Every structure is written in C-alpha cells, then in structure tokens.
Amino acid sequence: MSNTATASTHAPVRAEQQGPGYWRVTFDNPPLNLYEPEVESALAKIVDQLETDPDVKVVVFDSAVPDFFMAHLNLGRVAEFGEGMPAWFDMIGRLGNARFITVGSLRGRARGIGNEFLTTLDVRFASRERAVLSQLEIGTGIIPGCGGIQRLVQLTGRSRALEIITSGEDYDADTAALYGWVNRAVPDAELDAVVDRFAWRIASFDTDALRAVKEIINEEAPLHSPDDLAATHQRFAGLLARDFVQQRLQLSAKASPEVIYDLELNMGERLGPRD
C-alpha cells in the first residue's frame, strides 16, 4: 500500500501513513463535510486498501474542515447511494470487524451520519472546546437510519440514547464523555498529542494480540450486522419520503450559502423551539 491512498490531495477523503502500522484517514469535503456519494466512494477505496495491508494496526479518522467532522448525510442526494445504502452498511460492518483498531479524533460537528460513523469506530477522543455531537434527525421528522439508534443504545444505555435521539440537541464533549458516547474529552490544544500517543502505542504492539483483543471484545459486545439494521433504515426511508419532510428539505436547499452555513453551525438550536 502506498503512503497516500488517494490520488489527489483534493479528494474528499484521503489516507496517509504516519509510520509503521499507523495510518490517518482525513475527511476533506468543504464547506460542511457532508456525506455524499463521492465521499462514500473515496472512503470505500481506502477501506479496501487498508484491509489488504496486513501491517496496518491502527487507523485514526479526523477532519481537515475546522467546524465539521462530518455534518450529516446529504439528503438531497440520498437516491444516489442505492436503496438501503448497501455500500455504507457493508463498509461500517467491515470497519467494525477489521483486524486493526479504529480511532476517531473529533473536532467540529458530528451530526446524523457523521455521529453514526464516529460511533462505528472502536475508540473516540473529542476536543473539549470544539466537538459537537448530535443525532439531529428528529428535528426534520425522520430518525437515525444508518446505525445511530443501535450504537447509541450500546454505548450510552437506553435512557441516554432516548434523550440524545428524541431531543435532537447538540451535545458537548464533556457530556458525551460522561455518557460513554466518547472515550474522553480533552483540551483542544492536547487532542492531537493524545490521539497520536495512543495510536503510536497501538502501532508498537503485536498485531496478532491486537486482533485477538478486538475479536474477543466483538464477541462479548456483538456488532449489529447490515441485516439487523435494514428494518430501521426502511423506516427512515419511509419517513423521509413524506411530503412535508421533502418540502422542508427543498426550502432549506433554496437558502443562501451563508444562511445554510449558519444553520449547520447551530443546527441543534435551530431545529427545536427557541427559548
């Protein structure tokens, strides 16, 4: 595997080797880091390449877009992902069962499918000052349809998952750490060093031992298969297809870039009633 897994530095996702056994994958789809077909295609190719390299031990996922780790799914292009989003469910299933350890380094907003991707990863560290997490779907009349419900229940427990999903609010890193949503909230100035130190330690250890640990933990806390998640995604698609939801999405799409960016920055507040 080459030191750069994508051909262009302007690709929406790129991978770079940091050293023996240690890779970083960076989302770079400005201005919002939306999850779009091009992002999925680039990410799938990177996952393919990482899986075929037996020397990979740890992969850190981060963002080059300061305010957004991954904003959410681009609902205006949902049909382009294929019915049931098969590539998405295949990819997150493979990451969950990959021989290497996956780590999220969270700055900015991870909402909707951005949070669903983050919770797919094995370990998550978040910037205390700059991380924002949310399952925002309830505010537009839909539900998390890409694994968010199941993974939040597993990470935070039933009551906190209900709070997160039914409120649609933004949550800060300290609250997320308290809930078990992320492993740790750290000062933003220390985030890179904390993640780097953790990744380098993993990269220094034995591959077979690391793989055994992950396999045993997956047996103790089983991951949800694509088939398990299919029924939830069907309910998501049915709710999304309703007229009032589509009308609301069309109105949002007509807003100016400045209005859209402000909305995306403050989505948790704007989707609910104002105080």
Under 8 Å between Cβ of 115 and 133: yes
pLDDT digits (tens, 9 = 90+) for 39-65: 999 999 999 999 999 999 999 999 999
For residues 137 and 169, give the distance between their C-alpha atoms in angstroms, rounded to a whole number: 10
Under 8 Å between Cβ of 207 and 57: yes
Q: Render each residue's pLDDT in the chain as its tens digit; 275 residues.
A: 545 444 445 899 999 999 999 999 999 999 999 999 999 999 999 999 999 999 999 999 999 999 999 999 999 999 999 999 999 999 999 999 999 999 999 999 999 999 999 999 999 999 999 999 999 999 999 999 999 999 999 999 999 999 999 999 999 999 999 999 999 999 999 999 999 999 999 999 999 999 999 999 999 999 998 888 999 999 999 999 999 999 988 888 889 999 999 999 999 888 877 66
pLDDT digits (tens, 9 = 90+) for 98-144: 999 999 999 999 999 999 999 999 999 999 999 999 999 999 999 99
Could you give the dihedral angle defined by the CA atoms of residues 149, 271, 28 and 146, in that order, rounded to the nearest 10 degrees?
20
pTM reported for the whole predicted model: 0.94
Domains present along the chain, CATH in parentheses: 13-270 (3.90.226.10)
Q: Is the peptide bond before 31 cis (omega within 30 degrees of 0)?
A: yes
Strand partners for 62: 26
Residue 63 has which token pair? 């963002």
Least Cα distance to 20 among 214, 211, 206, 204 occurs for: 204
Largest CA distance in the chain: 54
